[in-house]
Amino acid sequence: MSKRINISVLDDNPFFNNLASFRINNFLEEYSQNNTLDYRIMSFLHPEDLYQNLGSGTNIILLDYYLGDSTTAIDVLKKISEKNKDCSIAIVTQKDDPKLSFITRSYGASAFIPKDDKTLERACYFIEKTITKRF
């Protein structure tokens, strides 16, 4: 039986959002050649859109910290914990404050990925690690 994994990307920056979804798709395409994996990637610019799709068995979320309109990843993490507790979340942000990783961790985030030239590589590594752990 093939493994099914649903990945969501929430970032209000459409450029990064597109890029991240594309890169993750490429990574999973390659990964699924060696591992039986059925995957779906959904990308959202607004938290509300993510909330509407949380019930559909989302396994991994890449979550930007600042989401515009004073919404932060912490607000989203609270909502996610209400709707889907079985989800691995990585916070992806430009924010340099090291404390942020601990704050978000206490709200259910399992990784903290700073936005730099290695972000997408690290995001893929996080996804691979999560898939390995889950299956």
Q: Please give the residue ranges that form the binding site for another protein (CB under 8 A).
A: 12-16, 18-19, 22-23, 26, 66, 68, 94-96, 98-102, 111-118, 120-122, 125-126, 129
User: What's the gap between Cα 28 and its chain centre?
Assistant: 14
Handedness of CA 65, 117, 120, 87 (dihedral sign): negative
Least distance in angstroms from the C-beta of 56 to another protein: 25
Beta bridge partners of 41: 7
| Residue with smaller CB distance to another protein, 45 or 54 | 45
d(CA 126, CA 89): 9
| Residue with smaller CB distance to another protein, 78 or 118 | 118
| Residue with smaller CB distance to another protein, 29 or 82 | 29
CB 84 within 8 A of CB 55: yes
Least distance in angstroms from the C-beta of 2 to another protein: 21
